[in-house]
Chain A
């Protein structure tokens, strides 16, 4: 491993991802937290791009930055009063949320340790046609099941949110 251009880019993206991830947890004001989360997601997309998974990078930007993060900001803006000063919404940083974060981290680490050994070398489906072959071929049932699950969740949300009308 040498300190050449690709390594420096990788390092820079990794450092940005780590710092913004820390900022998401540590920053008190929730709007700035959302901005830090956006930078974190973009730097992870940059890392995906760097490792050659361009489809995954584009999908990450599309779904997480363009969709999930915008919805989060939308919710923050709807509940935050703008007329009476700044920072109506702040994170309390209590023990409960810290234990949830640490527990999630431990769970993911344990789960991913077992999986990471299986994906040595270049993963299948890093290019678009390969990915399409996997998703629409050998993994078709799982793929459709995930879609069905999301549809059920969507219908459930509509029923819960619009329950009064019936």
Chain B
């Protein structure tokens, strides 16, 4: 029975960590974006404005939780959790330290690719149950986009799986060698672009598209449920960056202890910063450009990457 209690404690503390990561992510995004645009970003609350996000969260928690009259009430209320839970679950297989992941399973990479995909259902239901045309359009766009980008993302990770000969992220990190990076560079680019698209982040944010769809699938949400959508967005950014750092960038590179944890953390922060940088620099894609990029550019690139690895493997 202690195992289940331990699991519960672990799950709850994991939830807290994701909430804190989301707070940090919001602050980091506003700071980085501010500096890029020659602004300061938040400065008032706490040193360098660190507690701004915390203050905003308290404000959000005090706001009224509105359910529109036209909405399908039960589905509307449950949708934010359907988006958040799979993303939170995907963090479980990520190796945060050398040789350690919360759940070290032999199908970790497949788990990471499969489970966050379930949050598409939450997005579709959120868009649909609002009973609002903007929200429905956002939901449909989100589903089309996420299904398209799932394919190149899965194919790009395959190259590393072939090189490492395993699907367990902890094992991949243990077997990583420096020349994997140039060999799998194409795959890394595909993985990075399609992950940003999968997260519905700018410049791939047509499901939200604030200037034309007001906020897309979560236009009608407010208060705590809106905050859960934001938390899943930042949770997804953290998960993607850590996974990319562990799989494609070598993670802790065999260095154990605190130094290894710090190394993979720094690599993940680097990727998070690039995601923010890209988002605040490029204009939004049109939806036909988006699908063209997925099917005509990224998918062939991922296939070429697999061929490259397949040709190299017998010569080792």
Per-residue 0/1 for B11-31: is the Cβ within 8 Å of any A Cβ (1 yes, 0 no)? 000000000000000000000
Main secondary structure of the interface of A (DSSP, over half): helix
Inter-chain CA distance A58–B118, complex, in Å, is 11
Give the chain B neighbours of A66 by CB distance below 8 A: 114, 117-118, 120, 150
Per-residue 0/1 for B124-150: is the Cβ within 8 Å of any A Cβ (1 yes, 0 no)? 110111011100100110011011001
Main secondary structure of the interface of B (DSSP, over half): helix
- B72: which of A5, A31, A128 is its contact (CB, 8 Å)? A31
State whether B121 touches A78 (Cβ < 8 A): no
Give the chain A neighbours of B167 by CB distance below 8 A: 128
Decide yes or no whether B227 CB sits under 8 A from chain A.
no
Q: Which of B37-45, B50-58, B104-112, B274-282 contacts A (4 or more CB under 8 A)?
A: B104-112
Inter-chain CA distance A42–B147, complex, in Å, is 19
Give the chain B neighbours of A61 by CB distance below 8 A: 114-115, 117-118
- B110: which of A38, A55, A86 is its contact (CB, 8 Å)? A55
Give the chain A neighbours of B313 by CB distance below 8 A: none
State whether B147 touches A128 (Cβ < 8 A): no
Decide yes or no whether A82 CB sits under 8 A from chain B.
yes
Decide yes or no whether B75 CB sits under 8 A from chain A.
yes
State whether B111 touches A65 (Cβ < 8 A): no
Give the chain A neighbours of B133 by CB distance below 8 A: 82-83
Q: How many A-B residue pairs have CB under 8 A?
A: 89
B149 to chain A minimum Cβ distance, whole angstroms, is 12
Per-residue 0/1 for A27-70: is the Cβ within 8 Å of any B Cβ (1 yes, 0 no)? 00001100100100010000000000011001101100111011
Give the chain B neighbours of A62 by CB distance below 8 A: 110, 113-114, 117
Per-residue 0/1 for A126-147: is the Cβ within 8 Å of any B Cβ (1 yes, 0 no)? 0110000000000000000000
- A35: which of B125, B131, B139 is its contact (CB, 8 Å)? B125
Give the chain A neighbours of B62 by CB distance below 8 A: none
State whether B140 touches A78 (Cβ < 8 A): yes
Decide yes or no whether B311 CB sits under 8 A from chain A.
no
B294 to chain A minimum Cβ distance, whole angstroms, is 15
Instruction: Specify the chain A residue showing the minimal Cβ separation from B3.
Output: A5
Inter-chain CA distance A128–B150, complex, in Å, is 22
Give the chain B neighbours of A86 by CB distance below 8 A: 72, 131
Decide yes or no whether A152 CB sits under 8 A from chain B.
no
Decide yes or no whether B179 CB sits under 8 A from chain A.
no
Chain B residues at the A interface, C-beta cutoff of 8 Å:
1, 3-4, 72, 75, 105-107, 110-111, 113-115, 117-118, 120-121, 124-125, 127-129, 131-133, 136, 139-140, 143-144, 146-147, 150, 167
User: What are 6 contact pairs spanning A and B, CB under 8 A?
Assistant: A31-B125, A38-B121, A59-B114, A73-B143, A77-B127, A80-B128
9 extra A-B contacts, CB within 8 A, seeds A42-B118, A61-B117: A31-B75, A55-B106, A65-B121, A69-B121, A70-B117, A70-B146, A73-B143, A77-B140, A127-B106
